[in-house]
Structure 1
């Protein structure tokens, strides 16, 4: 089991790991720890056996090891999971006073931005999905769009990571290679599942509204989200799916009756923390994460029909967007996060992703505006504007 850290760690212990990140490293920061991994002792291969079994077998040969990396939205696609040569861990970033120190803003970079699809085209896709829902075909689908940012200089990924981590130090920040020459980085607010000994935690998010820079308006938006029938229904569908997927692994499970709110720098989200007592000690956090994925928060319901609508509507391959990113150890403990508020970086190009949950009550223009608000996490980190 990867050790937890004291409540009052040495100043600078977590930020030193953030500062130490470099190209080809793997960095993950969560509310429980900060992790910096280097080198590759062993990559998890594609194979016929379930992914969690392949990871368990690899860790059995290296019982002190840790698996780190990402899994695509399509679990049948090749993962980007490795047992690194070395791993340094520290306390959570939020516990390190140095995380509050200012970080240099983005240099005056110039970006060429291409939207795929354009907001008007995206809104038409949402409208078509809503029409099909009114006809009773399905009840929810998550539709995404992308921004492709091309710079005039090579990307400074460590600086982007610094700004993402320092803006939301209580969230889940990550940067790691996926394929040669490509890095997945982001700051997700959503825990898919964690396991610590016999304790399981999932934190599904669904139902969102953009933050406001005006305090009174920001509070009004938060209060309205808590009362929104459309968003509460969307959230309940996701929580029920998480409950059903976790239940076979649990001797007991607790699902709060109503959601609460969590906030990031750019968004308010409806949030429910589902906790369970593990009934199957052999089930790793990764196995449970794979059973949960994809939840209706990133795909829709019914799942297979929603996948088909996504393939028919989105003009791109999601790749690792709305997949899973995190770490796991040989004891089965780990933290696996939903890969949102993220981008894929390659030399001079950033591809940003954002999606919105579409239900029968959705308004196409509002969903397009929601994706634009979600893009701001990354646009702010690189000094770009739509």
Structure 2
């Protein structure tokens, strides 16, 4: 029997309008939704959990059903949350011609019932006023952050740790008129190499990000990958091949690579490929990246992904080294809760692939403000004022997109 209404699958709307429908649907039915675009792909993936997602106490990738994972910076403060893949859809942006006003249609990968599809179709407005208030409202001041960097350097000189990554928050008020769907599409266009993500649930709130860093990528029975990403500078008119790095930035990146190799040593894994370091571009920023790859088809280690997640997180790129001493310092010095910033997130067991990213270049949107998060890697050669400027550049990545600057 043919439907009397034109379904969302048949409707051609802007990608932003489709995304707002899924967000509004999740908000109205207390469901959870994860919207994401993998690096260098043209398709936006949409995943809905009709139960609203569930909390997980102990993470074992092998035990999870296909879905989407959000892991906080510290599990003793915030919960690990898994979104089950009850509904799957995708929108093809054709990345070379992406524009925010292009009309596109939805393709179901795992279809909802007719009743649910009709509810998605009728949903239209995500209500920012229904979001909870911020956990904090004050932005980190430059003086407070510079003081924290100075204390970090002092601890490094006293050999308490070798590197630490203090973070800050920057809150900007909004008037409930943010076009978050359009911001998502614009981020896809502007940052083709990033993992662009937009998630909402009653358990986690509304988060938006464009992360440049893979934590792990695992294809069952195929391969395992992780990366070391550190060092930051603005993109100049020079080509990437002509980019030069300071000793401080090279050393910072080497710490992260060494940390990963030490994790491999702990589990006696000796067979891996190391590719890099090389300069990569993430929007208007440049970083140093080294990729590590393991051929799991010849390694009898089915739990490698879970084991490495527990060893790697939080990495020295977001916490410091040694991890325990750096984390203790940050817990005492930072005045804000990082929540899901510098945790990790991404799809799990999606057609045999789990791809989790460090939650960087991200923000949380509340009922009256957007809170941006950023950190900088501190070594003995760091300059406090320069580290503040780096965090400002990192916050600007998303604030320019959200507020249209």
Q: So what's the TM-score if we normalise by structure 2?
A: 0.77
- Gap change, CA 1:85 and 1:326, over 3 Å in 2: same
1:357 aligned counterpart, secondary structure: coil
Distance 2:232 2:49 in 1: 38
Structure 1 position 246, deviation (Å): 4.0
**Of 63, 71, 76, the match for 1:57:** 63
2:316 aligned counterpart, secondary structure: coil
Distance 1:301 1:156 in 2: 39
Distance 2:269 2:348 in 1: 19
**Contact 1:17/1:36 (CA < 8 Å) preserved in 2?**
no
Aligned equivalent of 2:272? 253
- Gap change, CA 1:135 and 1:362, over 3 Å in 2: same
Distance 2:214 2:178 in 1: 28
Distance 1:178 1:308 in 2: 30
**Contact 2:72/2:80 (CA < 8 Å) preserved in 1?**
yes
Aligned equivalent of 2:55? 45
Deviates more, 1:165-174 or 1:245-254: 245-254
Aligned equivalent of 1:121? 144
Structure 1 position 254, deviation (Å): 1.1
- Gap change, CA 1:38 and 1:46, over 3 Å in 2: closer
Aligned equivalent of 2:179? 156
- Gap change, CA 1:236 and 1:41, over 3 Å in 2: same
- Gap change, CA 1:56 and 1:331, over 3 Å in 2: farther
2:97 aligned counterpart, secondary structure: helix
Aligned equivalent of 2:107? none
Distance 2:367 2:52 in 1: 25
Deviates more, 1:28-37 or 1:143-152: 28-37
Deviates more, 1:281-290 or 1:328-337: 281-290
Matched, 1:341 2:358: no
Structure 1 position 17, deviation (Å): 6.8
**Of 22, 27, 37, the match for 2:35:** 27
CA offsets, 1:90-147, max 9 Å, x none? 77x6x64332x3669xxxxxxxxx7632112201110111011111111010011111
**Contact 1:150/1:350 (CA < 8 Å) preserved in 2?**
yes
- Gap change, CA 1:45 and 1:251, over 3 Å in 2: same
Aligned equivalent of 2:168? 145
Cα RMSD for the two superposed structures: 2.9
Distance 1:281 1:332 in 2: 16
Structure 1 position 290, deviation (Å): 3.4
Matched, 1:361 2:381: yes
Distance 1:82 1:376 in 2: 29
Aligned equivalent of 2:400? 380
Pairs aligned (count) = 343
CA offsets, 1:201-225, max 9 Å, x none? 212211111234xx24x769x6222
Aligned equivalent of 2:331? 311
Distance 1:181 1:202 in 2: 26
Structure 1 position 80, deviation (Å): 2.4
Deviates more, 1:263-272 or 1:156-165: 156-165
**Of 253, 258, 273, the match for 1:235:** 253
Deviates more, 1:230-239 or 1:33-42: 33-42
**Contact 1:340/1:354 (CA < 8 Å) preserved in 2?**
yes
- Gap change, CA 1:182 and 1:359, over 3 Å in 2: same
CA offsets, 1:311-367, max 9 Å, x none? 122110000000001011188630000000000112332110010000111000010
CA offsets, 1:60-100, max 9 Å, x none? xxxxxx12031001134311212131123577x6x64332x
Aligned equivalent of 1:70? 70
- Gap change, CA 1:75 and 1:156, over 3 Å in 2: same
Map 1:106-117; keep pairs closer than 5 Å. Answer: 116-117=139-140
- Gap change, CA 1:102 and 1:90, over 3 Å in 2: closer
- Gap change, CA 1:269 and 1:78, over 3 Å in 2: same
**Contact 1:44/1:58 (CA < 8 Å) preserved in 2?**
no
Deviates more, 1:73-82 or 1:117-126: 73-82
- Gap change, CA 1:280 and 1:103, over 3 Å in 2: farther
Structure 1 position 200, deviation (Å): 1.3
**Contact 1:282/1:332 (CA < 8 Å) preserved in 2?**
no
